[in-house]
């Protein structure tokens, strides 16, 4: 059942290229010129044009996918987006109007807090769109519109392919909303769609080098504290990388917006502390590099994750560099998360933990 892999988590990491292809299938026109979600989303063009704000609500890893979703929808469809943790959303009297689109994201479709947030949104008259991996789940049944991620069953408690397929769902959704609202031109759609079609192979090329992450994971597993840093979408992925590591290796880590470090956290940087720095957002390269220099100067051991083509530049400022294939900045999270998943996996193994069933956690959280 593990198809020759030692753990479900590793198997599921390797299923991501297929999950991407399956989630895109039937939703991109054959000529690559448009995206269609008219089967999933029952809103008319008029209704889509009438959306004045979007709230993305989810828990844990799904929330981290929502952080990427915010940037995707804002940049493509130009609608203001707020992203909230479901257990907070319900109790902060969010401003929900009939022209608010609430997007709930849930792998299982059974998370109690997410379900309660969905119901609260509906009571307030919002339209609710669900992104879920389980057809017929509670979230899928209660939502007005559903985009299914076709990642297939996820058994490992730590989410991998469900998260990355949620990113694909957000790219499709962002493109679809943008087309309907007229905020994107066809050439841009073609560019993004072409780049999306390359993602599965690009993930495969990272997976071919999976063993590379073993050494660095073993070194990391000897520490009790570390940091992930990045800017923009790299910060969103850093948060997911940090959660994954904590969840299965039990190593404490924190994700920080790279530019925010010097406002307090820099005090925690001491000799030898590992800092994993994501440097994939072209317009932020220089800024992130200057933050890397700040932590290096305080003795941190910096592991850089950089775009292919820029890795030599990053290598000058860090101790170790891993490169990921180049794609559009907006799509990079679908690649940059993979090394972080592998790092967590190998760190957990190195610590002798039960990778697929970390202590204190359940796959589906049905209590609030």
Question: Which residues of the chain form contacts with ligand F6R (CB under 6 A)?
Answer: 59-62, 106-108, 111, 114, 158-159, 247, 364-365
Nearer to ligand F6R, 108 or 288 (CB): 108
Residue 3's Cβ-side half-sphere holds a number of Cα atoms within 13 Å equal to: 9
Give least dist CB 364 to ligand F6R, A: 6
* CA atoms of 327 and 203, how far apart (whole Å): 11
Per annotation, catalytic residue among 18, 214, 296, 363: 363
- Please name every residue paired with 226 in a beta bridge, in sequence order, or none if there are none: 253
Tokens 């990079």 correspond to what residue? 332
Nearer to ligand F6R, 107 or 317 (CB): 107
Contact 154, 133 (CB under 8 A): yes
Running DSSP on this structure, what letter comes out for residue 351? T
The residue whose Cβ lies closest to ligand F6R is 60
Reduced to 3 states, what is the DSSP secondary structure of residue 218? Answer: helix
Contact 76, 174 (CB under 8 A): yes
Nearer to ligand F6R, 60 or 230 (CB): 60
The b-or-e profile of 141-170 (16+ CB within 10 A means b, else e) is ebbbbbbbbbbeebebbbbbbbbbbbbbbb
Give least dist CB 249 to ligand F6R, A: 12
Give least dist CB 335 to ligand F6R, A: 19
Residue 30, number of CB atoms within 10 A of its CB: 6
Give least dist CB 248 to ligand F6R, A: 8
Residue 22, number of CB atoms within 10 A of its CB: 18
Nearer to ligand F6R, 59 or 147 (CB): 59
Find the helix or strand (DSSP H, E) in which 274 lies: strand 274-279
Residue 215's Cβ-side half-sphere holds a number of Cα atoms within 13 Å equal to: 7
Active site residue 18: no
Which tokens is 363 given? 């796959």
Give least dist CB 141 to ligand F6R, A: 15
Nearer to ligand F6R, 3 or 367 (CB): 367
Active-site residues: which are they? Answer: 363
């Amino acid at each position: 059942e593990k198809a020759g892999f030692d753990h479900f988590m590793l198997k599921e990491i390797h299923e991501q290229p297929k999950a991407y292809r399956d989630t895109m299938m039937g939703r991109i026109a054959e000529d690559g010129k448009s995206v269609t979600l008219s089967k999933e989303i029952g809103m008319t063009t008029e209704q889509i044009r009438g959306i004045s704000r979007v709230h993305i609500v989810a828990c844990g890893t799904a929330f981290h996918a929502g952080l990427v979703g915010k940037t995707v929808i804002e940049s493509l469809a130009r609608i203001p987006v707020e992203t909230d943790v479901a257990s907070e959303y319900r109790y902060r009297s969010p401003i929900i109007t009939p022209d608010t689109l609430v997007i709930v994201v849930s792998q299982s479709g059974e998370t109690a807090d997410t379900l309660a947030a969905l119901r609260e949104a509906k009571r307030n008259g919002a339209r609710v769109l669900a992104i879920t991996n389980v057809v017929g789940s509670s979230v899928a049944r209660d939502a007005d519109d559903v985009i299914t991620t076709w990642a297939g069953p996820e058994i490992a408690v730590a989410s991998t392919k469900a998260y990355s397929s949620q990113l694909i769902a957000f790219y499709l959704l962002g493109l679809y909303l943008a087309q309907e609202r007229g905020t994107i031109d066809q050439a841009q759609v073609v560019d993004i769609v072409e780049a999306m079609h390359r993602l599965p192979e690009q993930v495969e090329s990272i997976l071919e080098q999976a063993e590379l992450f073993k050494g660095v994971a073993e070194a990391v597993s000897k520490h009790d504290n570390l940091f992930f840093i990045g800017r923009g979408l790299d910060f969103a992925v850093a948060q997911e990388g940090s959660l994954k590591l904590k969840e299965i290796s039990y190593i404490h880590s924190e994700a920080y917006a790279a530019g925010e470090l010097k406002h307090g956290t820099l005090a925690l940087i001491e000799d030898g502390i590992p800092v994993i720095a994501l440097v994939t957002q072209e317009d932020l390269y220089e800024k992130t590099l200057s933050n890397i220099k700040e932590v290096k100067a305080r003795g941190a051991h910096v592991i850089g994750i950089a775009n292919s083509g820029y890795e030599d530049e990053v290598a000058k400022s860090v101790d170790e560099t891993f490169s990921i294939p180049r794609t559009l900045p907006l799509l990079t999270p679908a690649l940059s998360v993979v090394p972080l998943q592998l790092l967590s996996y190998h760190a957990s193994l190195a610590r002798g933990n039960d990778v697929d069933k970390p202590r204190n956690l359940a796959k589906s959280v049905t209590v609030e």
